[in-house]
Amino acid sequence: MNILIVGSGGREHAIAWAVQKSPLADRIYCAPGNAGISEYASCVPIGAMEFEKLADFAEENQIGLTIVGMDDPLVGGIVDVFENRGLRVFGPRKNAAILEGSKAFSKDLMKKYGIPTAAYENFTDPEKALVYLREEAKFPVVLKADGLALGKGVLICQDLSEAEEGVKEIMQDKKFGTAGDCMVIEEFMTGREVSVLSFVDGKTIRPMTSAQDHKRAGDGDTGLNTGGMGTFSPSPFYTKEIDDYCMKHIFQPTVDAMASEGRPFTGIIFFGLMLTQDGPKVLEYNARFGDPEAQVVLPRMKNDIIEVMLACVDQRLDRIDLEFEDNAAVCVVLASEGYPVQYQKGIPIYGLENFRGKEGYYCFHAGTRKTDEGFVTNGGRVLGVTAVGKTLPEARANAYKATEWIQFSNKYMRSDIGKAIDEA
Ligand code: AMP
Ligand code: GLY
C-alpha cells in the first residue's frame, strides 16, 4: 500500500519512521515533508492546506492511506475532502477535529458530559470578559483564545492588570487572529502535566503509553512557551490507578460524548492532563499526535502503525491491543539560540551521520534544509534527538550523550529534560 503523510515537522518524521517499518507500506510520500523525512519518504511540494491538490496526488499515485499529522488541515476539513473523493484517510472529520479547533466547544462538551476539567466561562464580548475578571475571577486565572494559535494562545495571568492586558491582546488586538473571536476564562490548576495520546475509531479508544512535554524555553520551566523543548515517556507519575480512572472518567466518556453529539471521532485524541489533588483533569484536547510526544511514544510502540490506523479507519480497533516496549525514551530538542522569539537560520549542521546504524538513537528533523553543501538550520526547533534506555535515567543519559554528536553554531537546548523523573 502506498502511504501519504501530510505535515513537515519532527512529528511527521517520527510517523514516517514508524510507517517505513511496516511491511504493509510500499511507496511512502510526505507533503510537504522536510529534509530529514526524505530519508524515508519522497517529499512532495504540496502545502498541507491544499486539500484538492493533495487529493489529486493521492488519486494519481494510488495512495492507499493518507495520514494527516498536523492540526490545521484537520480542523480545516481535509478528511472530509478526501472521504468525499473516496480516498482512505486517517484523522478526524472537520466536525470532530473541532475538539481541538475550538476550546469553547471542548469545554462545553466536558461540562455537558461531566468530564473533569477546570471551571470556566466562555466570552465573545471583551467587555463582558472584563466585568467577569473584575467581579468574579480568582487569580491566577487562565485566558485561552478559542481557536488554533500554535500553542501560544494561552495566557496565565497573575493579577487583574495582566488579565486586562490579556483580554486586549486576545480579543481586541487579535494577536492570534480570529482564534481570539471567542475566549475561555479558566480556573488555574496546579499539578503534574501528562500527555496521553490515543487511537480512536469512533467508538473504541486505545490509549498509548504516557509522555510528558517541557513547554517552556528555559531550564527549570522558565522563559517563554514554545512548541515543546523535549519529552520523556513513560511518565512515572501516571500510575496504573490514574490510568484506570482516566479511562473510566475521561477517555471513553470523551469518545462517547463525541459520538452522542453526532461527531464520531476517528484518529488520534491527545489528552493534555493535569494530575491535580482532586484527580486528573483535562487541560486540553488535540486531534493529532503531539510534537515532540510522537518522538518518544512511537519509538516505543511494538505494533505496526499502519495496521492500527487501518483498524481505526475501518472501525475495528476493538480487535487490536497496543503494545509498548518495557523501556523508556527521552527526546531533547535542539533549537536555534533565541527561539521562540528571534533566531538565525541557514547555519550548517554537522554530525548527522553519527546516528547511522545506532539502534535506539534517532535524530528527527523539524527545521532543517538540505543544500548542495549539506544540511543547514531552517527553523526555531531544528532537530529532536531521541534515545531509548531500559529506564528513564538511562534513556536520559543516552539522549544527552547523542546531543553531543550534533553541532551547529547557535545550538540551544534545555539541560533538564526529564529531570523531574528523579523525584518520582
Ligand atoms: P493548552 O494549550 O491548553 O495545553 O495550554 C498550554 C499550557 O498552559 C498547558 O500545557 C499548561 O502548562 C498551561 N495551562 C493551560 N490551562 C491551564 C490551567 N487551567 N491551569 C494551569 N495551567 C494551564
Ligand atoms: N507538545 C504539545 C503539542 O503537540 O501540542
Largest CA distance in the chain: 62
Q: Which ligand approaches the C-alpha of residue 188 most closely?
A: 1
Return d(Cα 284, Cα 49) in angstroms, integer.
24
Q: Which ligand approaches the C-alpha of residue 295 most closely?
A: 2
Residue limits of CATH 3.30.470.20 in the chain: 192-319
CATH class of 192-319: alpha beta
Q: Which ligand approaches the C-alpha of residue 194 most closely?
A: 1
SS3 222: strand
CA 38 to chain centre: 21
The per-residue pLDDT for 421 is 74
Asked if residue 234 has a cis previous peptide bond (ω within 30° of 0), the answer is yes
Return d(Cα 247, Cα 351) in angstroms, integer.
43
Residue limits of CATH 3.90.600.10 in the chain: 328-423
Write the residue with the smallest CA distance to atom 18 of ligand 1: 188
Residue limits of CATH 3.40.50.20 in the chain: 2-91
The per-residue pLDDT for 225 is 86
C-alpha cell at 322: 497496543
The per-residue pLDDT for 403 is 98
The residues lining ligand 1, judged by C-beta closer than 6 Å to any ligand atom, are 118, 142, 144, 151, 154, 156, 186-189, 193, 215, 272, 283-284
The CATH code of domain 2-91 reads: 3.40.50.20
Tell how far the Cα of 151 is from the centroid of ligand 2, in angstroms: 7
Superfamily of domain 328-423: Phosphoribosylglycinamide synthetase, C-terminal domain (3.90.600.10)
Q: What Å distances lie between residue 391 and 236, 276, 329, CA to CA?
A: 10, 26, 8
- Environment class of residue 123 by beta-carbon count within 10 Å: exposed (0-12), middle (13-18) or buried (19+)? buried
261-308 pLDDT, tens per residue? 999 999 999 999 999 999 999 999 999 999 999 999 999 999 999 999
Return d(Cα 374, Cα 370) in angstroms, integer.
6
Q: Computed from CA positions of residues 34, 35, 40, 45, in that sequence, does the dihedral angle turn out positive or negative?
A: positive
Return d(Cα 179, Cα 29) in angstroms, integer.
31
Beta bridge partners of 412: 335
Q: In sequence order, what are the residues at sequence separation of 6 or more whose Cβ sits closer than 8 angstroms to the Cβ of residue 244?
A: none
Tell how far the Cα of 154 is from the centroid of ligand 1, in angstroms: 7
- Which of the 8 DSSP states describes residue 408? -
Q: Is the pTM value of this prediction over 0.85?
A: yes
Write the residue with the smallest CA distance to atom 2 of ligand 2: 290
229-273 pLDDT, tens per residue? 999 999 999 999 999 999 999 999 999 999 999 999 999 999 999
The per-residue pLDDT for 110 is 98
Could you give the residue ranges of the DSSP H alpha helices within 2-77? Answer: 10-20, 51-60, 71-76
The per-residue pLDDT for 424 is 65
For the chain of 424 residues, list the mean pLDDT of each consecutive stretch of 10: 97 98 98 95 98 98 98 98 98 98 97 97 96 95 93 91 96 94 96 97 98 95 92 97 98 98 98 98 98 98 98 98 98 97 97 97 97 96 98 97 98 94 70
Average per-residue pLDDT in the chain?
Answer: 96
Q: Where are the beta strands (DSSP E) in 102-182?
A: 120-123, 141-145, 154-157
Tell how far the Cα of 388 is from the centroid of ligand 1, in angstroms: 28
C-alpha cell at 274: 493535569
CATH fold for domain 125-181: Dna Ligase; domain 1 (3.30.1490)
Which ligand 2 atom sits nearest the alpha carbon of residue 213?
1
Tell how far the Cα of 165 is from the centroid of ligand 1, in angstroms: 18
Residue limits of CATH 3.30.1490.20 in the chain: 125-181
